[in-house]
Amino acid sequence: MPDFLEISEVSPNELECILRNTAFIRNSANRTSDLLADKSVALIFEKPSTRTRLSFEVGVRQLGGTPIVLSSSEMQLGRGESIHDTAKVLSRFVDLIMIRTFADRTLRELAEFADIPVINGLTDKSHPCQIMGDIFTFQELRGNIAGRTVAWLGTGNNVCTSFLHAAGQMGFNLIFSGPGQFNPSEDAVAFAIGKGVSVDFEPDPIAAVATADLIVTDTWVSMHESVLEREKIWDTLMLYQVNTELMSHARPDALFMHCLPAHREEEVTSEVMDGPQSVVFDEAENRLHVQKSIMCWCLGLLPV
């Protein structure tokens, strides 16, 4: 049974299948089911979470399964038990593992030694479930994302990496606009370019948003990053703030996304967050639907 570790590691056909099933699962007639009846899902958190925790826990329940939320600090993992042994033990009790962790290595080791599927619920490197929800949100509102342009403003972080993976797999172009020292992962850029889409670096945020179908930003300081390092260039980062003035240079039908949590008046103003082009709360809701589809895919239980 497959893991869901990176968008770059799932074939475009399978990604499309997950998104098609998301639409089915979201339909009010299909929101609850017994697809996960008698199944238990471990949800492990090494970092804080609001959306990921709620959407997975509610999602498992809506599918008739049992979610078990575990904080790594409360597990023996937090006292030094190996990931290998943790993976083996969890595999005897539950049917699926979702983990939010720091190191990509932890995710990889868990997936390697678990006998059950593992889902990446965010690492320092990537956030694939978020971007599946974002792509679903875009396509519901604007149609196929293939051939479109996404402008990423700010710092090239874990969420940006998953956007680059999605660009390559789903055929859209990405423009990065931010301070050069916070460029996105070279590997993720190379992955996207290798799949034939364009990744442009545009230092002028106005030029970056002008042709975009979707404008995205995220916090300038992720959970694993140092505030001190970013504070030194705060004035430069402010040039990439998504505000009403910047949005006035975007197309009127361009959407605005942010995975949340947002730091209002830093990377984005409240006027934009709460404005007509913002779909940030649709994105949050769609985590629920897309992750139900991902869990079913991992277990070979997709309804359509």
d(CA 188, CA 21): 27
Residue from the set 51, 125, 289, 292 that interacts with ligand CP by CB under 6 A? 51
100 is catalytic: yes
Binding mask 111-140 for ligand NVA (x = CB under 6 A): -----------x------------------
Any contact of residue 259 with ligand NVA (CB under 6 A)?
Answer: yes
Q: Where are the alpha helices (DSSP H) in 27-172?
A: 51-62, 83-93, 104-113, 128-142, 158-170
* E strands, the chain, in order: 40-45, 66-71, 96-100, 118-120, 149-153, 173-177, 199-201, 214-217, 255-258
- Shortest distance, position 176 Cβ to ligand NVA, whole Å: 15
Binding mask 223-242 for ligand NVA (x = CB under 6 A): x-------------------
84 is catalytic: no
Residue 158 interaction partner, one of ligand CP, ligand NVA, none, beta carbon < 5-8 Å per kind = ligand NVA
- Shortest distance, position 30 Cβ to ligand CP, whole Å: 24
Q: Which of 26, 51, 100, 230 is catalytic?
A: 100
Any contact of residue 159 with ligand NVA (CB under 6 A)?
Answer: yes
Q: Which of 204, 126, 211, 203 is nearest to 173 (CA)?
A: 211
Q: Which amino acid appears at position 22 of this protein?
A: T
Q: Nearer Cβ to ligand NVA, position 67 or 121?
A: 121
Any contact of residue 260 with ligand CP (CB under 6 A)?
Answer: yes
- Shortest distance, position 46 Cβ to ligand NVA, whole Å: 12
251 is catalytic: no
Residue from the set 6, 218, 267, 283 that interacts with ligand NVA by CB under 6 A? 218
For residue 61, the number of C-alpha atoms closer than 13 Å in the C-beta half-sphere is 8
d(CA 125, CA 139): 25
d(CA 55, CA 89): 25
Q: Is the separation of the CB atoms in 124 and 185 below 8 Å? A: no
d(CA 67, CA 178): 39
Residue list 17-76, contact with ligand NVA (CB under 6 A): none
Any contact of residue 222 with ligand NVA (CB under 6 A)?
Answer: yes
- Shortest distance, position 258 Cβ to ligand CP, whole Å: 9
130 is catalytic: yes
Sign (positive or negative) of CA dihedral 82, 84, 89, 94:
positive
d(CA 140, CA 293): 16
Sites of contact with ligand NVA (CB under 6 A): 122, 157-159, 218-219, 222-223, 259
